Amino acid sequence: MAPSLVVLAAGMARRYGGCKPLAPIGPNGEAVIDLLVSDALAAGFARIVLVVHPETGPAIRYHVERCWPEAVDVAFAEQKLPLGTVHAVLAAQQSLGRDRSFAVSNADDVYGEEAMGQLARQLASSADEHALVGYRLASTIATGDPVTRGICEVDAGGYLAALTERRQVTRVDKGEMFDAKDGLQPEMLSGDLATSVNLWGFQPDIWDVLEAAMGASRLDEEALLAQVAAGGEAPKAEVLLPEVVATMVADGIGLPVRVLTTDAQMIGVTHAADLPVVSTELARQVACGTRPARVWTDLG
């Protein structure tokens, strides 16, 4: 059966200053999640599970109900506290079940039909390995503002050997070299490095790994919800998907992670200033014929 896609749309986007999944970046004013999900369906995904936050979830649900075709099979899951991307994926478990493969993506990135198609085909054809789409670093950074990127080390067999989150990554002189001001080495990064932007494919075995990581964090959601309800602050701790997968790989547990390399362009919204740049790139793709002029074309 065609896999499902979990879209992590519960982030609060404090730096951006709004609900990034609803940012109108398309040639006809389409929101980020419109483009993302339309590409996913065209690429072979069947069901969409949107993980939302109680504050921004109603706006996202309203947009989906008004703007998406009825033919889109979509479910909503709620992440009540910002406990990280592992916690967000676990929130989607009831909508997915535990016995089928699925993919995970951010809600503020447009990955492109080509790359998402690679992932859908991989999930459909191989049940004994997880997957990660590895973009060229240069294909994931559109502006001069700093971003966080997961730099992949890939072994000779094409599997993930290590994943290092690099922060404050910026392009140098509009070229193919990037500077990471996070204190790690190397400071200069090549634009050809395989890079994770959280486009994952998982087999059902991952549930045990995620549940173990969440349990080890000792973040008690019910107790924390009661604390917040009593006037306390929301917790700052997070359990992050890239870190958990990196630890799984380093410890040699679970299934291996196949890195699916691609030359596709990833279009992401990190800062408000990104909007004109990403809108221009999307318009260029439409003009070149690499992107349909309108969303939902595969749904008629």
Q: Give the per-residue pLDDT at 273.
A: 78
Specify the 3-state DSSP secondary structure of 112: coil
Residue closest to 239 by CA, chosen among 250, 248, 231: 248
Angstrom distance (rounded) from CA 52 to CA 75: 11
Q: By the 8 A CB rule, do 118 and 279 touch?
A: no
Angstrom distance (rounded) from CA 252 to CA 260: 20
Q: By the 8 A CB rule, do 272 and 17 touch?
A: yes
Number of domains in the chain: 1
Model confidence pLDDT, tens digit, residues 15-37: 666 789 999 999 999 999 999 99
- Indicate the average pLDDT of the chain: 93
Q: Give the per-residue pLDDT at 58.
A: 96
The answer on pLDDT for 121 being more than 90 is yes
**Strand 102-106 vs strand 194-202: parallel, antiparallel, or unpaired?**
antiparallel
Residue closest to 281 by CA, chosen among 146, 90, 110, 155: 110
Specify the 3-state DSSP secondary structure of 221: helix
Share of the chain above pLDDT 90, in %: 83
Average pLDDT rounded to a whole number, residues 160-177: 92
Q: For residue 127, what are the domain limits?
A: 4-299
- Give me the residue label for tokens 């200053």: 17
Q: Give the per-residue pLDDT at 175.
A: 81
Residues 6+ apart with CB under 8 A from 232: none
Q: pTM of the predicted model, to two decimals?
A: 0.94
Angstrom distance (rounded) from CA 47 to CA 292: 21
CATH code for the domain of 117: 3.90.550.10
Average pLDDT rounded to a whole number, residues 130-151: 92
Average pLDDT rounded to a whole number, residues 173-182: 89
Average pLDDT rounded to a whole number, residues 175-202: 95
Q: By the 8 A CB rule, do 152 and 137 touch?
A: no
